[in-house]
Amino acid sequence: MPRFALHANGDAARPCAFRATSPGDGSPVITTKGLTKVYRTRDREVTALDGVDLHVREGEVHGVVGQSGAGKSTLIRAVNLLEVPTSGTVTVDGTDLTALAGNGKRAGAELRKARARIGMVFQHFNLLSARTVQDNVELPLEILGHSGAERSRKALELLDLVGLADKAKAYPAQLSGGQKQRVGIARALAGDPKVLLSDEATSALDPETTRSILQLLRDLNRDLGLTVLLITHEMDVVKAVCDSASLMKNGKITESGALSDLLATPGSEIAAELFPLTGDPLGAPDRTVVDITFLGENTGQPVISHLARTYNIDVSILGAAMDTVGGKQVGRMRIELPGPYEENVVPIGFLREQGLQIEIVGAADAVKDTQLVAGVAQ
């Protein structure tokens, strides 16, 4: 994976002055249970969220992917209650936000306090054009009632953190898209959030700027122990920064998990999108097509030559690729073995014994086999 510059000007990462690194203990910091949102207009109802159970663990970067209209924006906006759910609960860092919202008058202040611990970054930056960069970053601190000196100190520290210390007095119109998003990120960090929500933060940016903003999010995740929940329609974003992901379809989460687990799950749509395998899945008649996923240290093993030698069979490689997913090296290969599935049970068992993830493709028995493996994986 290429190393991306942390800052637009190529500066190295600066140590963070705001919070010591605290590696998460893996407990959920964002949890939604049965989250449902029904939009009612005069002539129709749209169920945008249909009983969503989402778990994002502390310190991870979690991506939510799905087609347009799947409910991604509604979900991320429901996590900080910008969108009030019709039913279900949202808990962030141990606080049930849905309960706070239901508490009548007092709720406003308590909900505002809880929300300050949830930063949000938007696709179109949402900066105030009449305010300077520094004043934009100070805005949440003004709302929280910080003094002028404290606001100024913190805003300048945050601008330094995102590589824009020299742009404090500039106006948004004088910045590039990537710089505007850095201001958006600095503003989102003003309340010392535990969680950062990113709503398509890089969709309006060119590929190079996208990479630098994703790297900044990754660095903030690592240096501040910040948990990041992002929505995107780009699998490259997931590949570059996410530890885990969920797929949304029609308001539901249809699969969710660590990327390495999803890559090892037969039939995972996220895995197929993250890492599409080329090569005809049907192969030749009376031959068995097998997809192999290599993770971590397995990627360097000469498994195929070992297989061919051990069983004295000709192995054809139909397609293969290596990539880095979530910072880990992954290899996928589609091979073809001579003979139908039932004649290849032993060589396939050999591949499994090597700790590889195996999926049999395109044969009647494959369905049985895939279900068997899926059952084991659960």
Ligand X SMILES: Nc1ncnc2c1ncn2[C@@H]1O[C@H](COP(=O)(O)OP(=O)(O)OP(=O)(O)O)[C@@H](O)[C@H]1O
* Residues of the shown chain interacting with ligand X in the complex, contacts defined by CB under 6 A: 39, 41, 46, 48, 66, 68-74, 233
Which is closer to ligand X, CB of 200 or CB of 369?
Answer: 200
User: Beta-carbon neighbour count of residue 345 at 10 Å?
Assistant: 12
Minimum distance between the CB of residue 200 and ligand X, rounded to whole angstroms? 7
Phi, psi at residue 230, to the nearest 5°? Answer: -125, 150
Which is closer to ligand X, CB of 66 or CB of 266?
Answer: 66
For residues 118 and 69, is the Cβ–Cβ distance under 8 A? no
For residues 85 and 98, is the Cβ–Cβ distance under 8 A? yes
Which is closer to ligand X, CB of 86 or CB of 298?
Answer: 86
| SS3 category, 154 | helix
Minimum distance between the CB of residue 76 and ligand X, rounded to whole angstroms? 8
Minimum distance between the CB of residue 126 and ligand X, rounded to whole angstroms? 16
Which is closer to ligand X, CB of 153 or CB of 252?
Answer: 252
Tokens of 173: 């119109």
Q: How far apart are CA 55 and CA 31, in angstroms?
A: 5
Q: Which amino acid is at 176?
A: S
Which is closer to ligand X, CB of 153 or CB of 249?
Answer: 249
Minimum distance between the CB of residue 105 and ligand X, rounded to whole angstroms? 26
Element (H, E) at 110: helix 107-116
Residue 43, judged by CB atoms within 10 A of its CB (0-12, 13-18, 19+), counts as exposed
Which is closer to ligand X, CB of 71 or CB of 88?
Answer: 71
Which is closer to ligand X, CB of 112 or CB of 233?
Answer: 233
For residues 196 and 227, is the Cβ–Cβ distance under 8 A? yes
Minimum distance between the CB of residue 78 and ligand X, rounded to whole angstroms? 9
Which is closer to ligand X, CB of 84 or CB of 128?
Answer: 84
Q: How far apart are CA 313 and CA 339, in angstroms?
A: 10
Q: How far apart are CA 357 and CA 376, in angstroms?
A: 11
Minimum distance between the CB of residue 364 and ligand X, rounded to whole angstroms? 36
Minimum distance between the CB of residue 247 and ligand X, rounded to whole angstroms? 11
Minimum distance between the CB of residue 267 and ligand X, rounded to whole angstroms? 22
Tell the residue number behind the tokens 């969709």, with chain if given.
203
- Beta strands 316-325; 252-258: pairing state: unpaired
Residue 276, judged by CB atoms within 10 A of its CB (0-12, 13-18, 19+), counts as exposed
User: Beta-carbon neighbour count of residue 255 at 10 Å?
Assistant: 16
Tell the residue number behind the tokens 């004043």, with chain if given.
135
